[in-house]
């Protein structure tokens, strides 16, 4: 966090020509923040159509101080980095992660414990940062604590916009009880398995209000609603509606009271329509949307966050995630809907976020995150995809507003004076070859977050 | 874990000259385990008085196959590492860790959650490995889930022998509640098995069994107070002898033992009366108690840094009040004397730092180095952190997760946990602190974690 202390000495000229200094105040002092000057880089700023010629970028503290800096702009003791012609782009932003999801939810709930999940999540956060993602909007899971230890510098990882526990109705997409497990609410007892704060089951307006308020109390930056069925889960049909329009509106109101917004997991047109009319601003997944609903999405100025990379795999390859005939069939439906979704999105000019929704059980499945660039290349240009993963996603997370946004020192997702110094040096131009970003280990020469360097293989 | 499958084909000559093979069995198959031959090393084996001349050590799978191996003992495809005259020592063992306490206990309770502490624990475990500590005995916190994961190869880290949640009486040393708590109140740490507040034999048995159910390798009871404690001054004795006996009985039923945190004669002797086998801290006891420990085979787990360095200058600990400062001074003086008696009477001593959190995570070896200040030789110290430690770990009996090889030694059939050091710690024990530069190779379970040769 940026600290510049400037204490000015007040001069109290109380008695004619005598100046009296208050003993409690002392002389002006400016503490110099460390600087880094990155030279010889072509900059793509997150917004423009192309890259600059070779220029220098000056970072001071955790912010970008000046783009197109000259050598003399930097202090004598600035760290100089020769970018060697790399392309400097904003740090990537993930709009739909699940950092705490390391396998089957039922297994997690019954067999793993908080500490183990925390240990794994910390390691996955570090790996995500090394894939070039300097910010992650987490779409559900107990990651508020992880966010704190990352921000405190104890664990390397991206900035986290946490949903925290998701809100689900009884029998909804995050009702992760076993089939015969009782509803503890009906028994009037606390849940002995301690959901580990994955989800709050809430039915009716008072319950969703309480659950929403509890979620924000934990420090979540926005709220995640399970507003429709899922592919991999077994008790909630894909086409079913979840929550009534009034319940969804009540949740959104709680978010709006805190200057923030709600995101929702939804696939189907009817559910999306209800959510949009209730004021949900981020529609995640959405593969089964239709033309009329996409028009409404545009009208409401909401964001659409699809995740297309599962479309790169065959059903056999996805058998680990969708093992039963029922889940396989649901999976096939949503994959089949992707082309229509992206075409409709382009037709109506809606704002599209970059979300991957890749998670455990192991580091290999988390690492599929980088494949989203390849999946999108089928439908979008490199420039469009990069905007989705930087400035558009930045606009999404900025909807958290001044009260709940943990990162208020400067904008994200752009390279300009005053923005956070979250940036990557790519070995090559991703605008021309977006697939460079599918191999971050090889092609990311430098990773900087908050002005600190986490990787330098220049 | 080393797995060699040999299924022998049974020839059943039932009918005349025909041989019938049971269709469920199949041909003999031996799967070759990867080998590493480490050459040209002076070995200190964890027990001997000095190092060998230059020899080779053959590792197969996750065990040491042969010490003093010849080239021909290795398979053609073995990985060869030229140790270049470095000293091979067993992987180090810390016998008093708290892997999941990375902030003060109350900060962890109030400002973070267990997920966050888990993420920090992962970092700390990585730091242990980087310092050449391949095994840690954890003496209390919510580590059982992480321990299970590490011990099953699902997370990187040192082998963990966990006690699980602290067992403390009301107001005892692991009572992390608030002043206004009423009996039965459970705080967030206790909710997550960080510790159990138990009074009476029944509650103690239940909590002990809960820990063992989740994989604890031994039990840890708080038998006394601490210098800085909120509710339990240092002079207190905690748990009755019957409560200790209940814990010892449960431990024995599981084939393992009980260790206690205790400072002075009254609490230590009560614990020994009940059959406790390891005393942690022990700083204020008399020579008589030391002699009793020797006679009854009770081990001492030694925290040299915490008693000698941390409390060497209590006046400089600004957040201590005068009472706490006075206590710290007495602990410092008492520990200095106690360690000398322990050495004089030849107690079984293991080194365990009780050093956790950012200030101490990367100083694990310093606990061993500081033992020189009270007269221990490098050889004695090295044993505290290897073969002595392994002996106490073996007291976990059936609960030992690592039953298939020995720890803390370089010997045929031992686990391949070892370090190659540039220099001889038996001559200069301070080398252990310089692990970044001087520990050239670190191997755990036969896998190379670091190779800077």
Q: Where in chain B are the domains?
A: 35-91+425-451, 92-376
Show residues of chain A in contact with B120, CB under 8 Å. Answer: 118, 122, 149, 154-155
Q: How far apart are CA B79 and CA A120, in angstroms?
A: 31
Measure the CA–CA gap between B51 and B57, rounded to whole angstroms.
14
The pLDDT of residue B450 is above 90:
yes
Residues of A within an 8 Å Cβ radius of B: 100, 112-123, 125, 142-146, 148-150, 154-155, 194, 196-197
The pLDDT of residue A216 is 96
With pLDDT > 90 as the criterion, what percentage of chain A qualifies?
Answer: 72
Residues of B in contact with A196 (CB under 8 A): 115
User: Mean pLDDT score of chain B, rounded to an integer?
Assistant: 90
Residue with token string 């393992």: B256
In the 8-state DSSP scheme, what is residue B407? Answer: S
Residue in the structure block whose two tokens are 């976020």: A353
* Chain B residues within an 8 Å CB radius of A148: 111-112, 116
| Candidate CATH numbers 3.40.50.1100, 3.50.50.60, 3.20.20.140, 3.90.1640.10; the one for domain B92-376 | 3.20.20.140
- What is the per-residue pLDDT for A295? 98
Q: How confident is the model at residue A195 (pLDDT cuts 50, 70, 90)?
A: low
Q: Which residue has the higher pLDDT, B313 or A260?
A: A260
Q: What is the pLDDT of residue A196?
A: 65
Residue B299, pLDDT > 60, answer: yes
Q: What is the pLDDT of residues A1-18, one digit of tens each?
A: 443 334 333 333 333 333
The three-state secondary structure class of B27 is coil
At B249 the pLDDT is: 97
Residues of A in contact with B148 (CB under 8 A): 116
Q: Which residues pair with A243 in a beta bridge?
A: none
Residue B191 with chain A: CB contacts under 8 Å: 194
User: How far, in Å, CA of B341 to CA of B329, rounded?
Assistant: 19
Span A335-355, pLDDT tens digits: 999 999 999 999 999 999 999
According to the model, what pLDDT value does residue B317 have? 76
Q: Which residue has the higher pLDDT, A390 or A310?
A: A390
Mean pLDDT of B156-182: 90
List the single range of A55-59, A166-170, A431-435 with lowest mean pLDDT: A166-170
| Res A410: pLDDT | 97
Contact A115 B358 (CB under 8 A): no
- What is the average pLDDT across A70-84? 96
As a whole number of angstroms, the distance between CA A256 and CA A278 comes to 11
> Tens digit of pLDDT for each residue in B78-99?
999 999 999 999 999 999 999 9
Q: Does B122 touch chain A (CB under 8 A)?
A: yes
Q: For the residues B26-49, what does the mean pLDDT come to?
A: 86
More confident residue, B225 or B388: B388
Architecture of domain A12-91+414-456: Roll (2.30)
Terminal CA-CA length for chain A: 27
Q: What is the pLDDT of residue B13?
A: 34
What's the pLDDT band for A29 if we cut at 50, 70, 90? low
Give CA angle at A112 (A111, A118), nearest 5°.
175
Residues of B in contact with A118 (CB under 8 A): 114-122
Contact B142 A125 (CB under 8 A): no
pLDDT of residue B11: 33
Contacts of A91 (CB under 8 A, 6+ apart): A132, A133, A134, A135, A390, A412, A413, A422, A423, A424, A447, A448, A449
Q: How many helices and strands, by DSSP H and E, does chain A display?
A: 15, 20
Crossing angle of helices B144-151/B114-130, nearest 10°? 40
Quick: pLDDT tens for A252-304: 999 999 999 999 999 999 999 999 999 999 999 999 999 999 999 999 999 99
Q: Where is pLDDT greater, at B28 or A173?
A: A173
C-alpha to C-alpha distances, A209 to A41, A226, A245, A351, nearest whole angstrom:
50, 15, 14, 29
- Spatial separation of the C-alpha atoms in residues B231 and B393, rounded to whole Å: 31
Nearest to A123 among B122, B144, B145 (CB): B122
B200-226, pLDDT tens digit by residue?
Answer: 999 999 999 999 999 999 999 999 888
The pLDDT confidence band at residue A238, using thresholds 50, 70 and 90, is confident
CATH of B35-91+425-451, picked from 3.40.50.1980, 2.30.40.10, 1.10.3080.10, 3.90.1150.10, is 2.30.40.10
Q: How confident is the model at residue B327 (pLDDT cuts 50, 70, 90)?
A: confident
In this complex, do B116 and A118 lie within 8 Å of one another by their Cβ atoms? yes
pLDDT at res. A175: 81
CA distance A236 to A171: 6
Q: Which helix (H) or strand (E) holds B451?
A: strand B447-451
Asked which of B10-19, B117-126, B342-351, B422-431 is least confident by mean pLDDT, the reply is B10-19
Question: A110 is written with which tokens?
Answer: 């019954």
- CA nearest B358 in A: which residue? A154
Confidence of residue A170 (pLDDT cuts 50, 70, 90): confident
> Beta A423-426 vs A87-90: how paired, if at all?
antiparallel
> Is A215 a residue whose pLDDT tops 60?
yes
The more confident residue out of A108 and B238 is B238
Range with the poorest average pLDDT among A87-101, A288-302, B25-39? B25-39
Parallel/antiparallel/unpaired status of strands A159-162 and A133-138: parallel
A-chain residues within 8 Å CB-CB of B122? 118-120, 122-123, 155
Pick one of 3.20.20.140, 3.30.1520.10, 3.40.50.1100, 3.40.50.2300 as the CATH number of A92-379: 3.20.20.140
| Residue B20 pLDDT class (50, 70, 90 cuts) | very low
For residue A438, pLDDT over 60 is answered with yes
User: Does the fold of domain B92-376 match that of domain B35-91+425-451?
Assistant: no
What ranges in B254-321 are assigned the alpha helix state H?
A: 265-274, 287-296, 304
pLDDT at B59 over 50: yes
For B218-239, what is the mean pLDDT? Answer: 87
More confident residue, A260 or A363: A260
Q: Where in chain A is the domain with CATH 3.20.20.140?
A: 92-379
Q: Which residues pair with A160 in a beta bridge?
A: A136
CA distances from A124 to A106, B116, B155, B409 (A): 20, 13, 12, 34
Give me the residue from B121, B154, B191 closest to A115, CB to CB. Answer: B121
User: B43 with B410: CB under 8 angstroms?
Assistant: yes
Instruction: Provide the phi-psi class of B290: left if phi over 0, else alpha when psi is between -120 and 50, else beta.
Output: alpha
Q: B14 pLDDT exceeds 80? A: no
Q: How many CB pairs under 8 A join A and B?
A: 103
Distance, CA of B343 to CA of A258 (rounded, Å):
64
Q: What pLDDT sits at residue A422?
A: 98
Half-sphere exposure of A78 (CA within 13 A, CB side): 24
Does the pLDDT of residue A117 top 70, yes or no? yes
Whether the predicted pLDDT of B308 surpasses 90: yes
Q: Is the pLDDT of residue B63 over 60?
A: yes
> What is the three-class DSSP state of B266?
helix
**Would the pLDDT of B29 be above 70?**
no
| pLDDT at residue B401 is higher than 70 | yes
Answer whether B119 sits within 8 Å of A112, measured CB to CB: no
**∠A336-A342-A343 over CA atoms, to 5°?**
100
Closest CA to B413 of B4, B51, B67, B41: B67
Indicate the residue of A113, A119, A194 with minimum beta-carbon distance to B119.
Answer: A119
Taking the C-alpha atoms of residue A427 and residue B286, their distance in angstroms, rounded to an integer, is 68
Helix (H) or strand (E) holding A187: helix A184-187
CB A156 within 8 A of CB A133: no
């Amino acid at each position: 966090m940026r600290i510049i202390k400037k204490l000015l000495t007040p001069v109290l000229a109380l008695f004619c020509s005598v100046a009296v200094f208050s003993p409690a105040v002392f002389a002006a002092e400016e503490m110099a923040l460390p600087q880094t000057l990155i030279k010889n880089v072509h900059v793509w700023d997150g917004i423009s159509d192309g890259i600059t010629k070779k220029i220098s970028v000056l970072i001071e503290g955790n912010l970008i101080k000046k783009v197109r800096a000259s050598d003399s702009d930097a202090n004598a003791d600035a760290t100089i980095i020769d970018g060697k012609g790399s392309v400097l782009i904003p740090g990537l932003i993930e709009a739909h992660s699940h950092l705490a999801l390391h396998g089957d939810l039922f297994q997690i709930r019954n067999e793993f414990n908080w500490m183990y999940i925390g240990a794994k999540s910390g390691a996955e956060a570090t790996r995500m940062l090394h894939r070039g993602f300097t910010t992650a909007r987490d779409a559900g899971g107990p990651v508020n604590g992880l966010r704190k230890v990352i921000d405190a510098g104890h664990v390397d990882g991206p900035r986290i916009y946490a949903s925290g526990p998701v809100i689900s109705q009884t029998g909804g997409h995050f009702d992760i009880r076993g089939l015969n497990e009782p509803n503890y609410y009906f028994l009037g007892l606390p849940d002995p398995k301690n959901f580990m704060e994955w989800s709050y089951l809430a039915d009716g307006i008072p319950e969703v209000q309480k659950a929403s308020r509890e979620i924000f109390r934990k420090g979540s930056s926005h709220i995640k609603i399970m507003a429709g069925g899922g592919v991999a889960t077994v008790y909630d049909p894909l086409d079913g509606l979840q929550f009534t329009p009034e319940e969804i509106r009540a949740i959104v109101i709680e978010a709006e009271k805190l200057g923030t917004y709600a995101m929702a997991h939804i696939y189907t047109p009817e559910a999306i329509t209800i959510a949009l009319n209730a004021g949900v601003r981020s529609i995640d997944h959405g593969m089964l949307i239709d033309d009329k609903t996409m028009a409404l999405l545009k009208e409401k100025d909401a964001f659409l966050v699809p995740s297309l990379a599962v479309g790169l795999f065959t059903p056999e390859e996805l058998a680990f995630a969708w093992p039963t005939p029922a889940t396989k069939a649901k999976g096939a439906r949503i994959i089949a809907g992707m082309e229509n979704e992206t075409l409709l999105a382009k037709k109506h000019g809606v704002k599209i976020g970059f979300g991957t929704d890749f998670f455990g059980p192991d580091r290999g499945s988390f690492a599929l995150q980088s494949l989203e660039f390849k999946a999108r290349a089928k439908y979008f240009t490199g420039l469009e995809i990069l905007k989705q993963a930087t400035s558009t996603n930045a606009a999404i997370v900025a909807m958290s507003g001044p009260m709940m946004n943990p990162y208020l020192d400067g904008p994200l997702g752009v390279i300009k004076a005053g923005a956070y110094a979250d940036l990557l040096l790519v070995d090559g131009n991703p605008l021309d070859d977006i697939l460079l970003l599918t191999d971050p280990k090889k092609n990311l020469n430098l990773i900087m977050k908050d002005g600190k360097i986490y990787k330098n293989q220049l | 874990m080393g797995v060699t499958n040999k299924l022998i084909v049974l020839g059943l000559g039932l009918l005349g000259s025909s041989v019938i093979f049971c269709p469920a069995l199949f041909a003999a198959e031996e799967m070759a385990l990867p080998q590493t031959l480490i050459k040209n090393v002076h070995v200190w084996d964890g027990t001997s008085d000095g190092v060998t001349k230059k020899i080779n050590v053959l590792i197969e799978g996750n065990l040491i196959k042969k010490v003093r191996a010849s080239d021909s003992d290795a398979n053609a495809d073995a990985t060869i590492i030229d140790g270049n005259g470095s000293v091979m020592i067993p992987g180090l063992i810390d016998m008093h860790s708290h892997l999941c306490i990375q902030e003060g206990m109350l900060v962890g309770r109030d400002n973070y959650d267990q997920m966050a502490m888990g993420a920090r624990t992962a970092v700390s475990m990585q730091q242990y490995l980087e310092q050449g500590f391949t095994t840690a005995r954890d003496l209390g916190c919510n580590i059982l889930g992480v321990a299970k994961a590490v011990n099953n190869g699902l997370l990187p880290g040192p082998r963990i022998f966990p006690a699980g949640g602290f067992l403390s009486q009301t107001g005892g040393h692991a009572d992390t509640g608030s002043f206004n708590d009423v009996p039965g109140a459970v705080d967030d740490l206790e909710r997550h098995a960080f510790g159990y507040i138990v009074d009476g034999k029944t509650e103690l048995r239940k909590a002990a069994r809960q820990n063992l159910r989740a994989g604890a390798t031994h039990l840890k009871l708080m038998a006394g107070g601490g210098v800085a404690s909120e509710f339990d001054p240092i002079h207190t004795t905690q748990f009755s002898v019957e409560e200790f006996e209940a814990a010892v009985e449960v431990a024995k039923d599981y084939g393992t033992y009980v260790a206690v945190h205790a400072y002075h004669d009254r609490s230590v002797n009560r614990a020994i009366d009940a059959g406790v086998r390891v005393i942690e801290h022990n700083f204020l006891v008399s020579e008589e108690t030391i002699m009793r420990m020797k006679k009854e085979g009770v081990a001492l787990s030694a925290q040299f840094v915490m008693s000698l360095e941390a409390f060497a200058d209590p006046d400089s600990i600004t957040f201590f009040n005068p009472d706490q400062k006075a206590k710290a001074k007495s602990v410092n003086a008492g520990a200095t004397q106690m360690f000398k008696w322990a050495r004089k009477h030849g107690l079984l001593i293991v080194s365990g730092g009780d050093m956790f959190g950012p200030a101490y995570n990367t100083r694990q070896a310093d606990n061993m180095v500081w033992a020189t200040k009270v007269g221990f030789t490098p050889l004695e110290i090295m044993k505290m952190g290897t073969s002595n430690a392994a002996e106490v770990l073996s007291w976990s009996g059936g609960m030992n997760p690592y039953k298939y090889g020995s720890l803390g030694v370089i010997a045929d059939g031992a686990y391949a946990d070892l370090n190659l050091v540039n220099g001889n710690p038996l001559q200069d024990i301070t080398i252990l602190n310089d692990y970044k530069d001087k520990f050239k190779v670190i191997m755990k379970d036969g896998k190379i974690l670091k190779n800077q040769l």
